[in-house]
Amino acid sequence: MPNPPSPSIPPEDRAALRQVLDWQVEAGADEAILPDPVDRFAAQREKMRADKPAPAPAPAPAAPPQMPQDGGAGRNAGTGPARPEIAVAAKARSLAGSAQDLDTLRAALSDFDGCSLRKTATNLVFADGKFGAPLMLIGEAPGRDEDRQGLPFVGASGQLLDAILAAIGRDRSSVYISNILPWRPPGNRQPTPIEVAACLPFIQRHIELAKPKIILCLGGTSAKTLLARSEGITKLRGTWFDYLPAPLVAEAAPVSIPAFATYHPAYLLRQPIAKRQAWQDFLAIKTKLEEIEAE
């Protein structure tokens, strides 16, 4: 179909129209706009979809592994493959139970290779304070400063703990301090359940040897581990419990020890508003110690 004839424009109008167009170009309007809008983003998305290759077909599901037909060899009580953490925990209980004093317990812990944290830690952090003191404080794990010095609670949280102890008339020479884990987790991360289970027999034996009159759990990991509870520290703190683990030594009779839980000093540094509750907890510890010492 032939194009319609162009309208006739007089020469003088053409010159005026040319001047108008030149002015628009100089002003920056150098592109003609169509009367109808164009979604150029939609056009670009359509082009990208057209250029995208088709997805590869999903691989066929792998066949389930076949159990060995060996009549149960290499399995744990016929219920499946043996779990290595069970063997590690059994070894830890054997080593800890064989320790007859503090020195042999420390040596057994130093030689224990069932916890991978010892490979990344600088020092074994065993204990500090007075062995046999009536109050034993047990935290979670060493931090950076503790790892460097080989002593528990010597960093910023330890300084706060010293100040709180001084406020109730105690110091490191009148209490005994340790941790659930003797090695620092990299980056001060939360210990894993497997790491806690591997080290638990050693702190249990540590308590058996130290024979404290009161155990103070500092933080949720310590409280939940030693008290065998699942609640968080906000629910466990402020209440007295009975610490009564299974004895690691056959001839040892189980001994119930009053146990109390409070916030970890590191938590108090991050949440100063919780210091009011922590102070109430330490006042309860002070009262209990005075009652014991008065007997």
Please state which of the ranges 62-76, 115-129, 219-233, 250-264 shows the lowest mean pLDDT: 62-76
Percent of the chain with pLDDT over 90: 64
CB-count exposure of residue 261 (10 Å: 0-12, 13-18, 19+): buried
pLDDT confidence of residue 8: 67
* 15-69 tens-digit pLDDT: 777 777 776 666 666 566 666 666 666 766 676 676 656 555 555 544 444 433 3
| 112 phi and psi angles, rounded to 5 deg | -70, 125
As a whole number, mean pLDDT of residues 93-104 equals: 94
DSSP 8-state assignment for residue 81 = B
- Which has the minimum average pLDDT: 90-99, 121-130, 258-267, 278-287? 90-99
The CATH number that domain 84-294 falls under is 3.40.470.10
Between residues 12 and 239, the one the model is more confident about: 239
User: Which residue shows structure tokens 């030594």?
Assistant: 249
Measured in degrees and rounded to the nearest 5, phi and psi for residue 273 equal: -65, -25
Cβ count near 200 (within 10 Å): 19
Q: What is the pLDDT of residue 54?
A: 58
Mean pLDDT of all residues in 117-125: 95
pLDDT band at 85 (very low <50, low <70, confident <90, very high): confident
Would you say residue 180 has pLDDT above 80? yes
pLDDT for the residue 72: 36
Q: How many residues does the chain have?
A: 295
| pLDDT tens sequence across 260-277 | 999 999 999 999 999 999
- Mean pLDDT of all residues in 189-212: 95
DSSP strands (E only) in the chain: 128-129, 135-139, 176-179, 214-218, 240-243, 257-262
Q: How far apart are CA 20 and CA 25, in angstroms?
A: 9
Domain boundaries along the sequence of the chain: 84-294
pLDDT of 70 reads 39
The tokens for 155 are 């960093």
Q: Provide the mean pLDDT of the chain.
A: 84
pLDDT (average), residues 163-192? 96
Q: What is the pLDDT of residues 101-115, one digit of tens each?
A: 999 999 999 999 999
Quote the CA–CA distance of 284 and 288 in Å, as a whole number: 6
Q: What is the pLDDT of residue 20?
A: 73
In three state form, how does the secondary structure of 198-250 look?
HHHHHHHHHHHHHCCCEEEEECHHHHHHHHCCCCCHHHHCCCEEEECCCCCCC
Beta bridge pairs of residue 217: 138, 261
Q: What pLDDT is attached to residue 43?
A: 64
pLDDT at 279 over 70: yes
pTM above 0.85, yes or no: no
